[in-house]
Structure 1
Amino acid sequence: MKKKYFFLWFLFSFCTFTFSQSKFVIQNKKNADKIKFKLINNLILIPVEINGVELSFILDTGVSKPIVFNILNVSETLKINNTEKIFLRGLGEGEPVEALRSRNNIIKIGDAINVSLDLYAVYNSKLNFAPRLGMPVHGIIGYDFFKDFIVEINYSGKYIKIYENDKYQHIDCKNCETLSLDFFNKKPYIQADVTVDAEKIPVKLLIDSGGSDALWLFKDKALGLTVGEKSFEDFLGHGLNGSVYGQRSKMEAFSIKSFKLPNANVAFPDSTSISFAKNHKDRNGSLAGNILKRFNIIIDYKRATIQLKKSKYFNEPFSYNKSGIELEHNGIRLVQEEKNIVPDIRSQRSNKDHTTPGGRLVFSREYRYSIKPAFVIVELRKDSPAEKVGLRINDVILRVNSKDASDYTLQEVTQFFYEKAGKTIRLKIDRDGEMLNFQFKLESVLE
């Protein structure tokens, strides 16, 4: 069979394909629907039903065709029709990933349904983004959904509203900014400005709701897009073809018309990981979830416009991981828990004991075992506070600041590493069966 290569680049995002005429329609009388979502690591997770199977997808403005992965246990139920083998190329330095194109799938999102949609199924067990988010993720969807509706993304309320194009009534908004969208390979781009050394530089950015960072910029000395004096090498994310690394820094400000975000986070990915991302020669980078969530958005692909209004996250300070630790939810561990203490009155044998009339009171402890998530160190920044004290990749975190790690979600554990510089972090870890204790202070590299 002749191999077909479809090149894809994404950090939970970005792909380019040919397009069919299949369409989503809203099956209710209101011609609109509201869908709740989970906001995890600045990513939008929505429920998606494929051929009757309920799954969880990332809603990504930079994706053209649905990609399904992490489906080894449900592939038969999904009724994937393996009609054509392709290869996907994405972020990271690994080899292309084999996928199977499946035609005429029924996909339902809320009351919106498409009865004839192509999707791309990846059966590689190593391609599993769920551990990084701490919850099941089965795929990504974008352009096919956005092109058929006017979509309101309300980050403050964690819901999406979709409207049929001819039924939506546009309302003037005094505190909003409306911008034009430019499309390249079915991906939306926006014009913005970054301030470097007191100079405002115009940039063209992909709108990437499938990226959890704030802003990615491609280095360009001619434009003045260079890494600041204070920066560090870091893990930036996990792409389709492997991990992506680069330099993290801060910039004086990021601006979209009248909206200005000072001291914004910025990352400069290594060129080897983003070669396919630079096919659009006018592109300067990506605008991702940590900035997008600071707005409530109405995006209209048909009219090529986007409307922005401040969300409750607008003034949230930009922070970053000051520990050097990247965690993953990797399997489970068995935890012994005290169930209860049962009082037992036994016959009195000695008056020297503290006794009750006719007997002495003895407490019997009962225990139970429960299954808890295992949080494992999968990336460790060189010369970071965590590395300096001796922590290693594959260490399993058991306790954080004297509290069992299993009492937290993955996001809650990670959040400890984003607190203010000088904060003491105490970890108890399991290293190949040996229990060890570590303590370090968070360090601010960029301030």
Structure 2
Amino acid sequence: MAQDSFFLKADVSDKIDFELASNLIIIPVEINGVTLSFVLDSGVSKPILFNLEERDSLDLKSTRSFYLHGLGGNGRIKALKSSHNRFKIGNVIGVNKDLYVVFDKSINFTPRLGVLVHGIIGYDIFKDFVVEINYMSKYIRLHRPHTFKPKSSKKWKTIPINIHRKKPYLNAEITINKDKKPVKLLLDTGSSDAIWLFENKREGLMPKKDLFFEDYLGQGLSGSVYGNRSKADKFTIGDFSLSDVNVAFPDSSYVHAARAYKERSGSLGSNILKRFNVFFDYRNKKLHLKKNRFFKEPFTYNNSGIVLEHHGTMFVREQISMSQDNNKKMSSDFSAVKIDFSIEHIMVLKPVYKIVELRTSSNAYASGLKVGDILISINGSPAYDYKLPELNEIFHGKTGKSIKLKIERNGKDMTFKFKLDNAFKKMSAHIERSSLD
């Protein structure tokens, strides 16, 4: 067994099903016998655990203090480096693995994703296997590099990549304001967006004229990231071209560490990668791509201006109908008493959602909604009947769609109506943010 490597004993490959949330791949990872949920993130060079209640539950050994640098306004995070850990992903085993543990409770992706996530893992998997990602069927397959054979179909295209400090990069072309520019982008399966670009006036990497707005861009290791959203006329990787692509320009204060690699222009995220079947081959420095049915899906924005967060749970009384067999049995047991056993109720734990970001140019803001409002219902249906990605899908609907929200504010129920509007209508607007960020 190689030091600090993953290995697969018998098979030439191993298939692992994943959950897809906000375009992010979430896989089960067993660490020291405890099964956790990790985002598969090609943009990270080390496995990081950040949603751990009890330090001793994983039997962490050989620990020492360490600092991690990541996206966000705070710059760096104090962590604990633990060595000699045992990892298991499907039938793939890793021994003597390092793990970086962050105990800062504010570092938690679960509320914004609406899915339990304990950490992120990337390079440790990609360096030891050819990693196949099938976004349509929601599985990854880890291939032994020496047995892997690329697909021979003409539909598959091979793109060269380079690995710099354990992270993959590719060259592409982007057209903004009818000006075509070469870009070098980090391949980042841990980004739910399409493209992030570092603003650079000299190189012509700027938001499209008269077509941008300030927005919440996402959650980094060091906190929330804000910047401008815009559009690109065209984006090209090898023989593949996409039109009217979403592009975000993060504020420079949030991406100082990410800009340390001078050749890097930005990141290519999962909102583009999900449009392909993908093979990552780090050892041969290749990316194999084939279009899937997501390829022609339009790029949309959150036209509501609302960002929701999972805000705990509550008990809800739900009505259930009992089966006829149970009705007959219970009726015979209580034959002298007339009781209707056809309906029963149970208490079910349901999610609670809170507004944590609100774009001030939006119709939602103009209607009177505020950061901190608790969502009770949407268009007459209880909010707790939806998963967070399903609510976000509604907010990404077409301009003009009517939305009716019932919310709770300071103990009072209130109702607001608005129509989804064009996110680009007012470029000067800002974001009303949660006081917790």
Residues 174-222 of structure 1: per-residue CA shift (max 9 Å, x gap): 0122111112111110001111222321100000000000100111112
Offset at 1:77?
2.4
Work out whether 1:294 is the aligned partner of 2:272.
no
Conservation of the 8 A alpha-carbon contact between 1:47 and 1:57: yes
Query: Match for residue 214 of structure 1?
Result: 194
**Partner SS, residue 352 of structure 2:** strand
User: Which residue, 72, 75, 83 being the options, matches 2:53?
Assistant: 72
CA distance in 1, matches of 2:341, 2:25: 49
Opposite residue 166 of structure 1, the aligned amino acid is H
Deviation at 1:366, TM superposition (A): 6.0
Aligned residue pairs: how many?
Answer: 409
Please, which runs of 5 or more residues in structure 1 have no aligned partner?
1-19, 342-359
Post-superposition offset of 1:62: 1.3
Tell me the residue number matched to 1:310: 291
Q: In the aligned structure 2, how far is the partner of 1:365 from the partner of 1:144?
A: 53
Q: For 1:36-115, list aligned pairs within 5 A.
A: 36-73=17-54, 75-81=55-61, 83-94=63-74, 96-115=76-95
SS across alignment from 2:146: helix
* Gap change, CA 1:308 and 1:362, over 3 Å in 2: closer
The yes-or-no answer on 1:333 pairing with 2:301 is no
Residues 367 and 154 of structure 1: is their aligned pair in 2 closer, same or farther, counting only changes over 3 Å? closer
Q: Deviation at 1:223?
A: 1.7
Q: CA deviation at 1:140?
A: 0.6
CA drift at 1:335: 2.4
Aligned match of 1:174 in 154, 157, 162? 154
Matched-pair contact (CA < 8 Å) for 1:152–1:160 = yes
Residue of structure 2 in register with 1:349 after alignment: none
Q: Distance in 2 between matches of 1:71 and 1:363?
A: 44
Aligned 8 A contact 2:176 2:231 in 1 = no
Is 1:125 the counterpart of 2:94? The answer is no
Contact map agreement 1:134 1:410 (CA 8 A) in 2: yes
2:390 to 403, 407, 412: 412
1:147 counterpart = 2:127: yes
- Per the alignment, residue 8 of structure 1 pairs with none
Aligned to 1:383: 361
Where 2:316 maps in the other structure, the secondary structure is: strand
Match of 2:230 in 1: 249
Q: Given that residues 275 and 292 in structure 2 are in contact (C-alpha distance below 8 angstroms), is that contact kept between their aligned partners in structure 1?
A: yes
Do residues 25 (structure 1) and 7 (structure 2) align?
yes
CA deviations over 1:222-281 (Å, ceiling 9, x no partner):
221111121110000111111110001111111112111100000000000001110011
* Equivalent pair of 1:181/1:304 in contact (CA under 8 Å): yes
Is residue 193 of structure 1 aligned with residue 160 of structure 2? Answer: no
TM-score after normalising by structure 1: 0.88
Please report how far the alpha carbon of residue 96 of structure 1 lies from its aligned counterpart in structure 2 after TM superposition.
Answer: 2.7
Match of 1:11 in 2: none
Q: The residue matched to 1:165 in structure 2 has which SS?
A: coil
TM-score (norm 2): 0.90
What secondary structure sits across from 2:16 in the alignment?
strand
Name the CA distance, whole Å, in 1 between partners of 2:316 and 2:183: 51
Q: Which runs of 5+ in 2 are unaligned?
A: 323-337, 426-437
Conservation of the 8 A alpha-carbon contact between 1:177 and 1:307: yes
Give CA-to-partner distance per residue, 1:332-374, whole Å, 9 cap, x none: 1232334569xxxxxxxxxxxxxxxxxx999998654432100
Which position in structure 2 is the counterpart of 1:135?
Answer: 115
The 8 Å contact of residues 379 and 405 in structure 2, kept in 1 or not, is answered as: yes
CA contact (8 A) 1:209 1:288 kept: yes
In structure 1, distance between residues paired with 2:215 and 2:89:
36
Q: Aligned letter for 1:231? A: F
What is the DSSP-based 3-state SS (H/G/I as helix, E as strand, rest coil) of the residue aligned with 1:290? helix
Q: Which residue of 2 aligns with 1:283?
A: 264
Tell me the secondary structure at the aligned position of residue 444 of structure 1: coil
Change (3 A) 1:168 1:387: same
Mapped contact 1:230–1:445 kept (Cα < 8 A): no
Residue 150 of structure 2 corresponds to residue 164 of structure 1: no
Higher Cα radius of gyration:
1
Q: Aligned in 2, Cα 1:22/1:364: closer, same or farther, shift over 3 Å?
A: closer
Query: Using a 3 Å threshold, how does the CA distance of structure 1 residues 81 and 195 change in structure 2: closer, same or farther?
Result: same
